[in-house]
Amino acid sequence: MLQNKRITVSAPGKLMLLGEHAVVYGHPCLVTAVDQRMRATVELLDNLNLELEAEDVKVMGYKKTLSQLGVGDIPKGAKFVEIALKNINDKYPLKSGIKITTKSEFSSQFGFGSSSASTVCVVKAMSEILNLNLSNKEIFDLSFKTVLDIQGKGSGFDVAAAVYGGTLYFVTGGEIIKPLNINSLPLLVGYSGVKADTVTLINKVKASFVGREKRLEEIYSGIAMLVNDAKIAFLSNDLTKVGELMDKNQAYLRELGVSIDKLDCMIEAAIKAGAYGAKLSGAGGGDCMIALSPEEKKQAVINGINSVGETINVRTNAEGVRVEL
């Protein structure tokens, strides 16, 4: 029998501040970690099985031999955990079975990066329990590989937020991951009530600009310039400037065709109530919007967003992946 080894790890969700869609094509973005966290408890077993309990995504009593990881029909709720474990096993062959239990503080219906957070949790937990001593960059690389193995596309900004936490300046694939020293990020988050799929939207944008590729690249280059300007404005605490840049970023996203009427109305209500600026956050097609608000206008902006959609209570700039037990 193996000595009982057990560890719990948690990782934060994320919110995109500026740079959606352009980041998929090698341009920078700004992303912040949010304090709603994913937790994974990993235990070593005296067999050669994966056992998974993930009640939040309706996966209970899932079991598979380690030799069959990644093979056959994998339930949607198990994919990221199983493929993360497969990638670990391929690189660092396992000598014992693994039981993984996940628990989320946030609903997977919000685009907060629950899949990436659970992937990062598994990789970090395996690093700890197997004494691999993986660096944050190694955890990022293994986790990002897992996302690409499953989705085929992605930039990795949500993986980076889960690993490093805080607020990051990020370039596709982790080419640049630069933490920004931002003490205050007075961000309000609204949910449209509509769940959207990131890969579907990326493909939709590409298809809608067939024959207009030059304009598409102009938009992405324009977004990249906004991101770089926003980084400077954030670091100098010029929130008025950040708000202006958010509004310009939203105009580009509307031109890409990824905003929807509900998001536009929520954004308009936030700005009318006194926000510095507001925009959708993430792939679009629904999901979340964000507003940067002066403290004295905070309640008015919340009321404005709630008149159209609903606000979600989250804190930004959260700590990255960490061991809990």
> 162 with 242, same domain?
no
Q: Is the dihedral of CA 129, 131, 133, 134 positive or negative?
A: negative
Whether residue 232 lies inside any domain: the answer is yes
> 233 with 260, same domain?
yes
> 34 with 152, same domain?
yes
> 13 with 144, same domain?
yes
Residue that terminates a domain, selected from 146, 163, 181: 181
Residue that terminates a domain, selected from 122, 146, 181: 181
Q: Give the confidence band of 107 by pLDDT, cuts at 50, 70, 90.
A: low
28 pLDDT above the threshold of 90: yes
> 9-18, 187-196, 261-270, 294-303: lowest mean pLDDT where?
187-196
CATH number at residue 149: 3.30.230.10
Share above pLDDT 70 across residues of the chain, in percent, rounded to a whole number: 96
**Strand residues in the chain grouped as ranges (E):** 6-18, 28-45, 49-54, 59-65, 97-104, 167-171, 176-180, 187-191, 277-281, 288-292, 310-312, 322-323
**Max CA-CA distance within the chain?**
65
Residue that terminates a domain, selected from 181, 199, 227: 181
157 pLDDT above the threshold of 50: yes
Whether residue 85 lies inside any domain: the answer is yes
1 pLDDT above the threshold of 50: no
CATH number at residue 222: 3.30.70.890
Q: Which of 163, 146, 173 is nearest to 69 (CA)?
A: 146
CA distance 24 to 26: 6
Mean pLDDT for 153-179 is 93
19 lies in which domain range?
Answer: 6-181
Whether residue 317 lies inside any domain: the answer is no
Whether residue 323 lies inside any domain: the answer is no
> 216 with 93, same domain?
no
| Catalytic site positions | 158
Task: Please provide the average confidence, as pLDDT, over all residues in the chain.
Answer: 93
Cβ proximity of 143 and 158 under 8 Å? no
